[in-house]
């Protein structure tokens, strides 16, 4: 049995067209972009063309796009700079953020650099917008709001424009972790009140180890990584040349094919849930999977039994790749902080299936049949 890969929210396969675009910069065009001779100038031109491509797709200015090592570095940069450079002494976040955000805000809190508040999570996994406004209204100091656009585990999406307007109303800095949505949804950053967003190439069939950080042109921050003048004095270190070229190419392909790919992937997601309901009557969704949700992510909840507790292990043995985590903590499995935050039922097992343009209905059928057998 060939492997069935249903964990695309973790990483996606590298598109062959992207690899083709990268190959010249892995071989002949190897110059250091900081060098002044022809090899260096060719590399510099490739990076600046990639920057223009990314900026155009996101409707931003090229000067607002900075390339990084990935989403984690980008989030760390935005959050830390908001506190140290922009004067934010209060951070509002949520308990269901990616650890790249959670660990950063907790570090700043423990270091005494900012106070930290968490917005309430509603029973369907969405943030409580009324509570968010209350936290902003009650804050007497400059505030940073950092809330992810789409949750990586359950897929729930914030209304980024509504959150942005609240931040604008209370003069707050707004960072949104958009790692799960850049390359999957259209952005119009010139008409969105947000100061920072970030992306990671490997989430949309680009290479690993490369990401981007959008810094609104009205925001002036200091570098998070010191040591050189790369990325217009914002991010020291020799640029990941072929990674940057691959990032831009993957984002361009994702944008060009967005309508067809998104409709196809959404269809797979809905199809799998309907098929699961036919064979496991007590299956349900974690989060708002059929509502305001990322079309690539389906997080399902199974009754907890001796068999279902081993579901991920048994799926792996049967060449089906998925991820998961229940609300409870047992042994080496720390459980899911996301599930625990809003639906902490210790009698349920959570499994995340996430899809890409490369998946097929035949793979879904095989996976569902195997899940029925295992549970």
3-class secondary structure, 347: coil
Rounded CA separation 368/363 (Å): 9
Residues 6+ apart with CB under 8 A from 96: 121, 125, 148, 151, 153, 154, 156, 337, 338, 341, 342
3-class secondary structure, 269: helix
The token duo for 13 is 């396969």
3-class secondary structure, 114: coil
Rounded CA separation 176/195 (Å): 8
Active site residue 328: yes
Residues 6+ apart with CB under 8 A from 281: none
Q: What is the largest CA-CA distance in the chain?
A: 66
Query: In sequence order, what are the beta bridge partners of 121?
Result: 127
Catalytic pick among 88, 167, 285, 328: 328
How far, in Å, are 36, 68, 179, 241 from residue 212 at the CA level? 25, 5, 9, 13
Class of residue 12 by CB neighbours under 10 A (exposed 0-12, middle 13-18, buried 19+): buried
Measured over the CA atoms of residue 112, residue 113, residue 114 and residue 118, the dihedral's sign is negative
For 315-337, b where at least 16 C-beta lie within 10 A, e where not — what string?
beebebbbbbbbbbeeeeeebbb
Look at strands 90-93 and 143-146 and give their pairing: parallel
First to last CA, the chain: 20
Enumerate the active-site residues: 328
């Amino acid at each position: 049995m060939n492997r069935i890969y249903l964990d695309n929210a973790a990483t996606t396969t590298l598109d062959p067209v992207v690899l083709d675009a990268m190959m010249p910069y892995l071989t002949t065009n190897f110059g250091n972009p900081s060098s002044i001779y022809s090899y260096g100038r060719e590399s510099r031109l490739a990076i600046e063309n990639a920057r223009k491509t990314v900026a155009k797709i996101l409707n931003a200015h090229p000067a607002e796009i900075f390339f990084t090592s990935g989403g984690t570095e980008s989030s760390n940069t935005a959050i830390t700079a908001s506190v140290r450079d922009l004067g934010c002494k209060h951070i509002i976040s949520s308990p269901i953020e990616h650890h790249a955000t959670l660990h950063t805000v907790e570090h700043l809190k423990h270091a005494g650099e900012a106070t930290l508040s968490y917005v309430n999570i509603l029973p369907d996994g969405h943030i409580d917008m009324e509570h968010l406004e209350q936290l902003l209204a009650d804050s007497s100091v400059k505030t940073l709001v950092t809330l992810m656009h789409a949750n990586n585990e359950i897929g729930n999406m914030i209304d980024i424009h509504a959150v942005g307007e609240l931040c604008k109303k209370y003069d707050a800095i707004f960072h949104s972790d958009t790692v799960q949505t850049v390359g999957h949804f259209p952005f119009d950053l010139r008409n969105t009140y947000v100061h920072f967003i970030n992306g990671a190439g490997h989430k949309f069939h680009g290479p690993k180890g490369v990401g981007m950080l959008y810094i609104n042109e009205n925001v002036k921050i200091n570098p998070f990584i010191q040591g050189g003048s790369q990325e217009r004095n914002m991010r020291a270190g020799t640029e990941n040349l072929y990674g940057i070229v691959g990032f831009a190419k993957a984002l361009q392909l994702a944008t060009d094919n967005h309508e067809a790919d998104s409709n196809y992937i959404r269809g797979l997601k809905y199809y799998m849930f309907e098929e699961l309901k036919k064979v496991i009557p007590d299956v349900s969704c974690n989060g708002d999977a059929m509502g305001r949700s990322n079309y690539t992510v389906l997080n399902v909840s199974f009754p907890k039994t001796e068999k279902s507790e081993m579901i991920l292990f048994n799926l792996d043995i049967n060449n089906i790749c998925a991820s998961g985590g229940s609300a409870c903590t047992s042994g080496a499995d720390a459980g899911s902080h996301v599930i625990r935050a809003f639906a902490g039922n210790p009698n349920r097992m959570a499994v995340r299936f996430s899809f890409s343009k490369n998946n097929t209905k035949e793979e879904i059928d095989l996976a569902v049949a195997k899940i029925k057998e295992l549970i």
